Structures are given as C-alpha cells and as structure tokens.
C-alpha cells in the first residue's frame, strides 16, 4: 500500500468523541443542626388533619339535636319541701316582747340605758331612772310610744319612750291616778286640783 492509500484510510475513519467530563453534582444546602430537646417535655406529635365537615352534615346534626326530647326536670322530694317550709317559718318568726300595760294617769319609773364616753375614750353604759306621770300613749303594737312628764327644779321635763325600744330596760308602775281622758295635756297648764289615786291590791 502506498502512502496515499494510508492517508485516505486515515481520513475516512470517524473522529473519536472527546472523553465525557464528569458531571458536577449539585451541592445540596446544608441543613441547620437541630437543637437538643430539653428533658421532661414530651415530643410534639404532628396534628392530624381532620376533614372539613360539609354544611349538609352540620345541618343534619343541628336538626337531630333540636328534635331530641328534653329531659324532664326532677321533682323535689316531699321531705325536702317540708324542711324548706319549716325553715322559712322559723326565719319569719319574730321574738315576742313582753310589753307592759301603760295607761295615761300612771306614775311610772322608766329605767333607761345611756351610753357615755369616758376620759380614756371608752364607752360606758349606765341606767338612768326617769320618774314621771304618763300624759299620753300613741301607736299600736310594738310601735307604741308613751310620753312621761315630771317637774325638776320648777321646770317641766317631758320624754317620749318607745315601748319596745332596746334602750328601755324596764318600766315600773308606782301609782295609778283616776283620769277620764286619753291625753292629759291640761295638766301642763297649771291644774291645781289633785288627781285621785286608785288603790290597787
């Protein structure tokens, strides 16, 4: 073979493909390091996604709840009712106060409680006796009041006492005079005649 034939054979041969270069692997970004969870705290569990309820299902549920019969209220026991009635009666009761029978024309001695303040600043209670003639009685029941008058040093003094007041310790009847009126205001105008005493056994 001549040199020309060798050159032609070399030209006819296909060129060799260049060596494939290695593909560069894409560098993945580094994940941040997770902090260690403190001891004692339970690990958070992923929440389960609940499927959204359809509006038709909600309407059915509300209709069923409305149609459900309400539970009947329990009736109280008869013993409990009787106990409640007795307690209400006890609360409504008022202590009975023994009221003296005071009438106009009586000479009475009223023991009246008085609170006084001492030099040290403390309060001291004492009983003061007021003796005089009953001129009038007003009111009814526990709301009655009576007016007592006496002459002290040539000056007339009158006091009105509630018959059921807690400040009135007691009322003593000394004498009973005979009178024909319910209000003895005429005695303040200089009545000179003596009243006749009614002797009681």
**Cα(140)–Cα(159) distance, integer angstroms:** 19
Given a contact cutoff of 8 angstroms between Cβ atoms, the answer to whether 183 and 135 are in contact is: yes
pLDDT tens-digit map of 133-189: 999 999 988 889 999 999 998 899 999 999 888 899 899 999 999 999 999 998 888
Q: How many CB atoms lie within 10 A of CB 98?
A: 5
- Say what the pLDDT of residue 67 is: 63
What pTM does this model have? 0.49
**Cα(161)–Cα(103) distance, integer angstroms:** 13
- Say what the pLDDT of residue 79 is: 77
Please say whether the structural domain 106-188 has been given the CATH code 2.30.30.790: yes
- The ranges assigned to domains in the chain are 106-188
- Say what the pLDDT of residue 148 is: 95
**Cα(82)–Cα(51) distance, integer angstroms:** 56
Helices vs strands, H then E, count in the chain: 3, 5
Residues of the chain short of pLDDT 70, as ranges, are 1-2, 12-76, 91-99, 201
């Amino acid at each position: 073979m001549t040199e020309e034939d060798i050159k032609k054979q070399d030209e006819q041969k296909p060129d060799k493909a260049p060596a494939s270069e290695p593909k560069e692997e894409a560098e993945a970004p580094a994940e941040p390091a997770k902090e260690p969870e403190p001891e004692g705290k339970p690990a958070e569990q992923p929440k389960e996604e609940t499927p959204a309820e359809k509006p038709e299902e909600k309407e059915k549920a509300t209709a069923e709840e409305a149609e459900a019969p309400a539970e009947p209220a329990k009736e109280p026991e008869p013993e409990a009712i009787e106990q409640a009635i007795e307690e209400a009666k006890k609360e409504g009761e008022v202590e009975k106060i023994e009221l003296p029978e005071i009438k106009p024309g009586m000479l009475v001695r009223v023991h009246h409680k008085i609170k006084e303040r001492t030099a040290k600043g403390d309060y001291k209670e004492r009983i003061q006796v007021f003796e005089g003639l009953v001129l009038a009685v007003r009111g009814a029941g526990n709301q009655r009041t009576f007016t007592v008058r006496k002459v002290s040093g040539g000056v007339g003094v009158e006091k009105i006492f509630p018959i059921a007041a807690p400040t009135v310790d007691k009322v003593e009847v000394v004498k009973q005079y005979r009178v024909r009126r319910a209000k003895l205001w005429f005695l303040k105008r200089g009545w000179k005649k003596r009243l006749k005493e009614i002797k009681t056994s």
